[in-house]
Amino acid sequence: MTEHTTPGVQPVDTVVDHYLETLTDRSRLVVEPVLEEWREQFALETFDAVDTDLCREYSRYLNRQVDRADRDLSAGTARTYFAYVRAFLSFAVRENCLDTNPADANRATELLPDDDGKRERQFWTPAERRVALEYCTRRVDSALDPPIAPSSIVRERLRDRAIVAVLGFTGVRGAEVFAVPGDDRRDGLTWADVDVEGNTITVFGKSQSYQTAQLPDRAASALERYRRVLEPPTETWPVFPTNHYPSKRRALAEAFSDERLETMLERRDIDELLREHELAPPSLSTNGVRSILKRLTARIADESDVIDYDEDENVYLKPHGARRGLGHELYTRGSAELAQSALRHQSVDVTHESYSDIQTADVADRVSEILEDES
C-alpha cells in the first residue's frame, strides 16, 4: 500500500484514504465522516501519536458528546463510532503503520458511555407537536386580541411559535439553528439563511458544511408571521436574537466607547440602538432555547395530559426530540427515503440504523400475522 515500512511514520490521512477504498460505497458514506472527525479532533498527522492514551481520550470525547443535546448522539452510536476507529486501526496494523491496535486495550474503552441496548425514545409525537403548536397559537391570538399586548410580548409569543414550528417540521438539529457557546462557526440562523418562497433554510450541518434543509409550509408561515413583527433591519439579523442584556450590550460595545455607550443607554432602549446602528445581537443559544422549551412544556402540561413535564427527571420537549419525532413519524409511515432526505442523513442505511427498533417491531407484527394465519 505504501512505501513506508517503519511503524508510526505513515501519514494518517493517506492510510485513511486507502482504508476507505476497501469499503463498499454505503459503508464509506457512514465511516468516512467519523474517521475525519477523529483525525481532526486530535490533529493527527502520523501514527506516532496514536496510542492507548489517545484512544482512551477518544472514548472520553465520545462520552462527552452523548451528554450534549445539540449533538444528538446516543450511547450506542458513540460506541459504534469507536468501533469504526478500532476497525481502521486494525487495518493500520496490517499495513505496518502500528505494531498493535491500541483501541483493543481495556483501558482504551472503559470511558465509553454505557449502552444497555435500549435506544433513547424521547421524541415529539405528532400529538405533542400539535398540542404545543395549538398552545403557542392561542398565546399569540391572546396577545393580539384587543387590547393588544405590548410589542415585546407579541414578538416573544410569535418567536416561541416559530421555534416550535421550525423544530417540529424541519428536522434540523438545535445546533444548526441556535448559537452553540464556544463554537464560532455555529452562531445561529440569520434571515439571509431563510427562503420562505423556496421552502428551504441553509444550515451549518453535522458534516461541517453548509446544507439545505426543508422548510414545510407550516414552519415557513410561522416564520413569515414572526418576521413581520420582528422587522429585522438587515438580512444578517438573527432569526432568533437573544434577549440576554449583557450579550446585547457587548454587541454595542464593539462599536462605541464605554463613555459614549453609557450616555446612549441612558437615553435610548438597547434594542432601538442595535436596530438604528444595524448592530446585530447574538443569536439565542442552544441553552437558551432549551430553557424556553422547558417553560413552554411546563405550562402546556398544566393544561393537557398529552405532554409530560418532570423537572427532576429532565423530561420536557427537547430540541433533538423534535428531529427524532419527525424522522420517527416519516419512517413509520413507510417513507425511509423521505425521512433520510428530511433529516439529511448521508445514506438511507443511516436512517435504517437510527430507526431499527421500528423495523424490529414491524417484523414482529408480520411474524405474528403469519403465525395467526397458520393457526
Residues 225-279: tens digit of each pLDDT? 999 999 999 999 999 999 999 999 999 999 999 999 999 999 999 999 999 999 9
Reading the block at residue 231, the C-alpha cell is: 422587522
Coil, helix or strand at residue 245: helix
Reading the block at residue 27, the C-alpha cell is: 459503508
So what's the pLDDT on residue 357? 61
Residues 136-190: tens digit of each pLDDT? 999 999 999 999 999 999 999 999 999 999 999 999 999 999 999 888 889 999 9
Helix axes 25-41, 12-21, angle to 10 degrees: 170
Q: Are residues 100 and 55 in contact, defined by beta-carbon separation less than 8 angstroms?
A: no
Q: Which fold has domain 124-241+282-347?
A: hpI Integrase; Chain A (1.10.443)
Confidence tier at 334 by pLDDT (50, 70, 90): confident
The model's pTM is 0.70
Q: Is the pLDDT of residue 118 over 50?
A: no
So what's the pLDDT on residue 3? 46
Distances (CA, A) of 147 to 143, 225, 227, 229, 349: 8, 20, 22, 17, 54
So what's the pLDDT on residue 119? 44
Q: Is the pLDDT of residue 1 over 60?
A: no
| Helix (H), strand (E) counts: the chain | 17, 3
User: Taking the CA atoms of the chain, what radius of gyration do you get in angstroms?
Assistant: 24
Q: Are residues 216 and 199 in contact, defined by beta-carbon separation less than 8 angstroms?
A: yes
**What is d(CA 208, CA 31) in angstroms, rounded to the nearest whole number?**
15
So what's the pLDDT on residue 103? 95
Helix axes 126-144, 286-303, angle to 10 degrees: 90
Over pLDDT 90: what percentage of the chain? 70
Q: Give me the residue spans of the domains in the chain.
A: 12-109, 124-241+282-347, 245-281
Confidence tier at 359 by pLDDT (50, 70, 90): low
Q: Which helix (H) or strand (E) holds 143?
A: helix 126-144
